[in-house]
Structure 1
Amino acid sequence: MTSPEGGAHTVTAQLRMRVGQEEAHYGGELVDGARLLRMFGDLVTEITIRTDGDEGLLAEYSAVRFTAPVRPGDYIEATAQLTRSTKLRRFVALEARKIIASSDTKPSAARVLAEPVTVCTANAVTVVPKPNRTA
């Protein structure tokens, strides 16, 4: 694999979290999409720390798609991949997948999903402050 800058590897980041009961926000025990965007923000920050030694400044989310519900007890795995770099900006593709689903039948039951379910995708652009840029 090659990186967007033509290097030897792709820059990626990954987070996994369990959604807590306190995050139920809507009827039907649904978690709001902002929780997933916060995960994405942490991943974009990690990407810019890896590439530039600076947290950068998140400038934009685009093409945000919520594709499946998230509920308390679910385990979400989110990934980020640097897709392109310019002198000032880093472009990152993001995806969050449900890997364990809470049960509808018992409050403490859950099941490992045979195939992860994509719950959200997005693209992000972050700006790297000029004094800290290495590219």
Structure 2
Amino acid sequence: MSAKDAHYGGALVDGAQMLHLFGDLATELLIRYDGDEGLFVGYEEVTFLAPVYAGDYIEAEAEMITIGNTSRKMAFAARKVITCRRDLSESAADLLESPIIVCRAVGTCVTPKGNQRIQH
């Protein structure tokens, strides 16, 4: 996360940045599955589990968990893999031995039938 992602005091990153990452992942999954970007309908669940700060490195992943005629339900997770260490210097960071899950979510996207280009 960069300094421009910090929204609050102490260089705290807005949780919406995790949802932005999830939206990009959903788009990729839909293109791979349907050959179309589809539309994000909404989240059923979003849980923020740990703070994220400017300078932290986040890895995010998604998987389709339910596939309907046009709907695709997905599960998302974002993990902090590197944490900034401003207590040591402005550029210090630590690689985490065990990544920290910072956010989980479940959401649904739709690819209209007429836009689905890949046959399953």
TM-score (norm 1): 0.84
Q: 2:53 aligns with which of 55, 58, 71?
A: 71
> CA–CA distance in 1 between the matches of 2:56 and 2:40?
27
For residue 51 of structure 2, give the secondary structure of its aligned residue in structure 1. Answer: coil
- How big is the alpha-carbon RMSD for the aligned residues of Structure 1 and Structure 2? 0.9
- In the alignment, what sits opposite 2:66? 84
CA distance in structure 2 between the aligned counterparts of 1:63 and 1:92, rounded to whole angstroms: 11
Cα distance, 1:28 vs structure 2: 1.8
2:80 aligned to 83, 91, 98, which one? 98
Equivalent in the alignment of 2:30: 48
Q: Secondary structure at the match of 2:18?
A: helix
* Structure 2 gap ranges (5+): none
Aligned pairs, number = 117
Once the 2 structures are TM-superposed, how far is the Cα of residue 130 of structure 1 from its aligned partner? 1.9
Counterpart of 1:107, as a letter, is E
Cross-structure match for 1:4? none
**Matched position secondary structure for 1:54:** coil
Of 76, 87, 91, 1:108 maps to 91
Aligned to 2:5: 23
Please give the alpha-carbon distance, in whole angstroms, between the structure 2 residues aligned to 1:63 and 1:22.
Answer: 26
**C-alpha displacement of 1:104:** 3.1
The alignment partner of 1:45 has SS state of: helix
Query: Structure 2-normalised TM-score?
Result: 0.94
* 1:62 is aligned to 2:79: no
Instruction: Please tell me the residue identity of whatever aligns with 2:72.
Output: R
Aligned equivalent of 2:107, options 124, 132, 135: 124
